[in-house]
Structure 1
């Protein structure tokens, strides 16, 4: 499928907002869904809605095949060794919290170090704060360069023999920075630490290969990559997962239950207590099929071109500040910006009046906002269904926003 032909597959984009054709530039928050995913969800609920694993009837078998088939698709999508390493979760947040509560709580002790960066999403900060409080471990932060990137020399200096866990985002949801997670992981492993990767903003846009990165854990969400909400993935190396205790208990994850003792199922089901997210997994599988038909490399190239085009056009607007790397080469399709003397919420409101959807606020990254010395920013994020025409309308909207507030004040 040619990427120029994908927009008609997204029915939600075929509408007007406030009298203007919708320009959706908030895919970093959540992506839109193609008809293939919508139809996969509808087919499950219409034709074979049933619980998985437990039933021997036909609908139960079909549901189990769809659910476990989606796990196989995820395994191939990120190049994991085995489906045993693929755990379905509610999203990236749940994936990271599972690592924190199951692995880190059991393996870290007083004086051990956890290393993260100031650019992390709150869901990759707060779990480690809690681990540090409860275990006595020390939370350390990697320094950022002036453009928001991470220097490997700083990584070498920050990680020590006391470092037991390093957790970093693959792609920043604010700066669009693509971090050198493979190289960071090599430094972490040399020190005897495990590498955790937040791939929420990477999996939808880049080819993620967990064996090449050699990460120990990785999490991502379905709703940011054309899939349904409420479904995500935790990848973990089998030898680590096998030695981890579940953090939720109940049906599905048990092997034998006695009055006083119970045993757990094998991987990956021991980490999937209760009725799992069946429809979500099936929808995620359909999203993976859709993305792979286009090609992740094609999507990456498309977004780089859009980001470069947008930054070039935005650079002509006086009083506009773009945060993050100046080059589009080392960034995904995320551009965070501010207009001088205009609050980001006002920017988003005026753009919405033009039918243009962008995000405004701290983007669940308050430490990074403090580092940037701002309280909030506006953010435009591009995906495979966006075009240069969308960028043109967006920049025209920025100019109108500036003119509006110049007239007001």
Structure 2
């Protein structure tokens, strides 16, 4: 078989769809599930923490670089998975049906010192019991309302092959699910439990955006009121300084909103993605309604959907407010630019008038200069004529002086005119 050059990530990408298969579950079996948010450097410490557990149990050091690890300690099994924002630890334990309920919890088979040091912040903690419906009928558990726990949600799953009871309450730090196996195979039971754990995790992760949405709502209420006031001020402004003041306030308001958008866009986007995953996992359960109890889908539609809708509304309000502020800022900038252009036109008109006045003054000065030069020139001619009056007979110095005056004035006027033409030509030449 010929060998081809493979993409370096071909096998990694191919194995991704097989990376996290559901763990087959026998009946009865107990499952404990923990999800920890990544904070600071907690994610980087998880691999070493898993190595410590393997060392305590005498197992080979696991490879955590793939993002998922499975350990079989005999008394329990561990499945660890790293996700974008959190890491999950799922513990499985097979127990006899007559054991004490608390003693059967899978988490208590794990070394206490190790589980207390799991890195990160706990965000989800759940116990799941997989029971045999023939040995422990679900109707009996429901009839014992308040004895073990009071289910508020109950439904058939896998097209009636099993039942699920839960109250979505945290008691002693854990929420609780009971899965009754009627005719599910081990793999079906494993998929059902995995979907329930994902529903619980993604439900809580989606709701992380709700406190953010409430904070954003307060910011938006204040910002919308301020924008309304600024819009009114735009209509009342009569001077450029007033408009510039309004524009400065609009700019500060826009900065506040854009800062909020930058800080919350990921959280709101993640909430929508997590909610979509919740809906998909509920769809995969193939629920069957049981009389007197709402199914998980109905419970989530009544409780979770409004919270996600609130987050989506706040995200849209932020974007809408940002657009409105941008439009008002652009409108105000246009008004300011128009006013500045008008002022510039007035300034240019004033400069033009001053230039004309200066030109007239210059022409007046030039006329006086012609008279002055002519006067001094005629005086020089008179002095010369007096000195050579013997050679000018019969003309007298006075006559010579009188005749020279128009000649001198003409020459001076022509000289000034020629000078102006030369200056005008140099001004009109390229590069000036």
Which range, TM-score by smaller chain? under 0.3
- Tell me which structure has the larger Cα radius of gyration: 2
Q: TM-score, normalised by structure 1?
A: 0.19
Q: Which has the higher helix share?
A: 2
Higher relative CO (CA 8 A, sep ≥ 6), structure 1 or 2?
1
Q: TM-score, normalised by structure 2?
A: 0.18
